[in-house]
Chains A and B, each alone.
Chain A
Amino acid sequence: MSDMRYLPRAALSGLIDAIRDAGYRVIGPREETGQGGLVYREIDGVEDLPQGLHDRQEPGSYRLEKTGSPRYFAWANTASAIKPFVYAPREKLWRVVHKEGRIHFEPVERDAAKTAILGVRACDLAALELQDAHFLRGKFVDPYYKARREKLLLVAVNCSHAAATCFCASTGDGPEVSTGYDILLDELEDGYLLRVGSTRGAMIVADLPLQAATQGHLEAALAQSEACRAQQRVLPGEKDLARLGEQLESARWTKVAERCLSCGNCTAVCPTCFCHRELEVPALDGKSSEHWRDADSCFSEDHSYIVGEVVRHGTRERYRQWMTHKLFNWVPQYGRIGCTGCGRCTTWCPVGIDFVAEANIVLGLAEAPEPELPHVDGSEAAQ
């Protein structure tokens, strides 16, 4: 227990200051009007954190409620993941200058700002690990991702409750954070159980008024994590998911496609999705041009366009791509499934398609609910 320390709640602002003193900008969860939930944004101090806010998530819905609790981290997860701080949704790759018939390629400056993220959840940390595998450990290293990744300081906070949409316990990625953090907190009634996971983390907490953690603190933290483990949704296990490849012609894909709007919200909020398109932004004077990349989704029409055809031509094909990539094809690519159980795709689906329920139905592990849609007859619709 020697590695466990205790930080009183009043000293949390000291932690934020220490991080800032070490040269980091601090990103934390905050309520953003217009975003419909919590998002990670730059914070000035504890006053920007969502104290006393609790999230209620269901398929197709996310609501924040005031509880009056002094806690800052009594929510399950944010609307957007930490992904945008590492893999930017929009990024300039290079610039090219046209001069006297020649073209000169100029790489962009890649010195990312030192960035600390406070409040990172187990699911998002696991997703970061998956993105590292994709962008850093493949045949080619992505220098843009790498520049930001190296400047990242991660202050994780274990969940104190799970949302109805969470299922990290069944993907094995949560509820507790196990690796990948610099500093790890468990939020308790009056303060934080604190663990350090790296030398950088140790240096930051060195001058904080840390106390010895007691058996009571430890037990309270364990009880919280244990409570989070009881989750409503359970993803099929590895053996069952390995059968998804036999279900590519399942009739269920057509059923899902009747509800799916092909909007791509799920891929936009998913912390592991990596797809992007490249695009060109020529300067108006014609003398230079910029080459960018923009986040893209396998639900978009041109994602699979080749001259003369769109390979995944309909919603059935696109939903099948999304689910089988996450839960099946990721395994040969990166050695595990591409889902960490954050539940965002279900929460942020405008028609409330339940990812876990669909996986169970496609695999024949659950019955499709009937009727699928509330029946609207012609006379009502006409009113």
Chain B
Amino acid sequence: MKTDNAYLPWEAEIVDTIQETPDIFTWKLRFTDREVARNYSFKHGQFNMLYLYGVGEVAISVMSNDGECIYHTIRAVGRITKAMMKLPIGAHIGVRGPFGSAWPLDEARGKDVVFVTAGLGCAPVTSSIKYVVANRAAYGRLVIMQSVRHRNEGLWEPQYDEWRTLPDTQVLLTASRDKTRWPHWSLGRVSVLLDEAQYDKQNCVVMMCGPDAMMADTARTLVELGVPAESLFVSLERNMQCAVGHCGHCQLGGKFVCKDGPIFVWPQVAELMRVKGY
């Protein structure tokens, strides 16, 4: 990140847009300034602030970086993200980052890795799932648990089907509000999947992303099941305006989610997440 003014974005061009589902798209972005591209590096779990001309900025996790281009997967949910989805290839946007803390992918080497996601906000873990998939041999078992309300909610299903075919990998999906059971799908919340998941509780790293209540419930259950609290990691979402620890919007107790997070090891936030509306 720029040292003199972390507020000022760099210009980037939309080189390609991949429409993953009707409301999820992936942008391939190239910084106009090659120097910026050369110096840019990120860790999985970190995010950028993407700026739409004349409208504003949103926090979006970095999916990958191939040295020349960076990739972001975005769900169109509101004012800015919906307008972003309409931008044509070749258009220019602003980018600043990367910001925040990262998933413990190095520490997780040699261990079983478990991903738990709920709702539709799974983007912050997708990049690390892809990283583990790409470096499959470096990790133990891979377990991916995802819950949505309805199967037809626009989940990015083909990628789950692909992951299911990998060795030593379990992909568990559940729809909490559906009545019909589809192949590979369970009915109910994430908690129904926890029994089916097979991994070494004493030698694993669990990475979670989703609504606060889901993560708090899952963390509590996992600790009861014997997973050490220090092996659990969560990615938090809070309103973000500045991403540099100044605007105060992302505060959770004494933490600034943008710079102390968004990835936290569970004991850092366990107490705070128990308090509703804090």
Which among A93, A291, A324, A325 has the highest number of chain B CB atoms within 10 Å? Answer: A291
Contacts of B255 in A (CB 8 A): 332
Residue of A nearest to B274 (CB): A248
Bound-complex Cα distance A311 to B239 (A):
9
CB pair A142–B246 under 8 Å, yes or no, is yes
Q: Which of A107, A138, A274, A279 contacts B5 (CB 8 A)?
A: A107
Bound-complex Cα distance A316 to B6 (A):
34
Residue of B nearest to A142 (CB): B246
CB pair B241–A277 under 8 Å, yes or no, is yes
CB pair A312–B254 under 8 Å, yes or no, is no
Q: Which of A143, A276, A291 contacts B247 (CB 8 A)?
A: A276
| B112 close to chain A: CB less than 8 A | no
In chain A, positions 103-145 with a C-beta closer than 8 Å to chain B are: 103-105, 107, 134-135, 138-140, 142-143
Contacts of A70 in B (CB 8 A): none
* B17 nearest CB across to chain A (Å): 16
Given the known A-B contacts A101-B90, A307-B78, are A94 and B7 also in contact in the complex, defined by CB atoms under 8 Å? Answer: yes
| B275 close to chain A: CB less than 8 A | yes
Q: Which of B8, B32, B91, B93 contacts A94 (CB 8 A)?
A: B8
Given the known A-B contacts A305-B239, A317-B278, are A280 and B245 also in contact in the complex, defined by CB atoms under 8 Å? Answer: no
B80-107 CB mask vs A (1 if < 8 Å, else 0) is 0000000000111110000000000000
Bound-complex Cα distance A230 to B248 (A):
34
CB pair A138–B249 under 8 Å, yes or no, is no
Bound-complex Cα distance A142 to B6 (A):
8
* B83 nearest CB across to chain A (Å): 12
CB pair A105–B8 under 8 Å, yes or no, is yes
* B215 nearest CB across to chain A (Å): 14
Contacts of A307 in B (CB 8 A): 77-78
| B228 close to chain A: CB less than 8 A | no
* A10 nearest CB across to chain B (Å): 45
CB pair B249–A303 under 8 Å, yes or no, is yes
Bound-complex Cα distance A134 to B245 (A):
8
CB pair B277–A104 under 8 Å, yes or no, is no
Bound-complex Cα distance A321 to B94 (A):
33
Binds A, one of B54-62, B139-147, B161-169: B54-62
| B238 close to chain A: CB less than 8 A | yes
Given the known A-B contacts A103-B53, A282-B54, are A248 and B248 also in contact in the complex, defined by CB atoms under 8 Å? Answer: no
Contacts of B1 in A (CB 8 A): 140
CB pair B94–A139 under 8 Å, yes or no, is no
Given the known A-B contacts A101-B92, A275-B248, A279-B56, are A303 and B239 also in contact in the complex, defined by CB atoms under 8 Å? Answer: yes
In chain A, positions 261-309 with a C-beta closer than 8 Å to chain B are: 274-280, 282, 286, 289, 291, 293, 296, 298, 302-307
CB pair A304–B246 under 8 Å, yes or no, is no
Bound-complex Cα distance A303 to B253 (A):
14
B227-247 CB mask vs A (1 if < 8 Å, else 0) is 000000000011101101111
Q: Which of B90, B251, B253, B259 contacts A139 (CB 8 A)?
A: B259
| A331 close to chain B: CB less than 8 A | yes
Bound-complex Cα distance A280 to B94 (A):
13
Bound-complex Cα distance A86 to B6 (A):
19
CB pair B244–A139 under 8 Å, yes or no, is yes
Contacts of A142 in B (CB 8 A): 244, 246
| B10 close to chain A: CB less than 8 A | yes
| B4 close to chain A: CB less than 8 A | yes
Q: Which of A101, A248, A278, A282 contacts B242 (CB 8 A)?
A: A278
Q: Which of A93, A329, A333 contacts B7 (CB 8 A)?
A: A93
Contacts of B92 in A (CB 8 A): 101-103
Residue of A nearest to B121 (CB): A307
Contacts of A107 in B (CB 8 A): 5, 8
| A313 close to chain B: CB less than 8 A | yes
Q: Which of B90, B93, B247 contacts A278 (CB 8 A)?
A: B247
Which among B94, B244, B277 has the highest number of chain A CB atoms within 10 Å? Answer: B277
CB pair A103–B11 under 8 Å, yes or no, is yes
Given the known A-B contacts A102-B92, A278-B56, A332-B254, are A321 and B239 also in contact in the complex, defined by CB atoms under 8 Å? Answer: no
* A312 nearest CB across to chain B (Å): 5
Bound-complex Cα distance A63 to B273 (A):
44
* A351 nearest CB across to chain B (Å): 22
Given the known A-B contacts A139-B259, A274-B246, A275-B248, are A96 and B53 also in contact in the complex, defined by CB atoms under 8 Å? Answer: yes
CB pair A134–B246 under 8 Å, yes or no, is yes
Given the known A-B contacts A277-B241, A296-B249, A314-B277, are A102 and B11 also in contact in the complex, defined by CB atoms under 8 Å? Answer: yes
* A264 nearest CB across to chain B (Å): 13
| A83 close to chain B: CB less than 8 A | no
Please give 9 more A-B residue pairs, beta carbons under 8 A apart, in addition to A94-B8, A101-B91, A304-B238: A93-B8, A96-B53, A101-B92, A138-B245, A140-B6, A248-B278, A289-B54, A306-B237, A333-B254
**8 closest Cβ pairs, A-B complex:** A332-B254, A275-B248, A317-B277, A140-B244, A329-B254, A282-B54, A289-B54, A278-B241
**Contact surface of B with A, Cβ cutoff 8 Å:** 1, 4-11, 32, 53-57, 77-78, 90-94, 237-239, 241-242, 244-249, 251, 253-256, 259, 271, 275, 277-278
What would 25 A/B residue contacts be, using CB atoms closer than 8 Å?
A: A93-B7, A94-B7, A94-B9, A96-B94, A104-B11, A134-B246, A140-B244, A140-B246, A274-B248, A275-B248, A276-B241, A279-B56, A280-B55, A286-B54, A289-B54, A293-B241, A303-B239, A304-B238, A311-B277, A313-B277, A324-B253, A329-B251, A329-B253, A332-B254, A333-B256
**Contact surface of A with B, Cβ cutoff 8 Å:** 93-94, 96, 98, 101-105, 107, 134-135, 138-140, 142-143, 245, 248-249, 274-280, 282, 286, 289, 291, 293, 296, 298, 302-307, 311-314, 316-317, 320-321, 324-325, 328-333
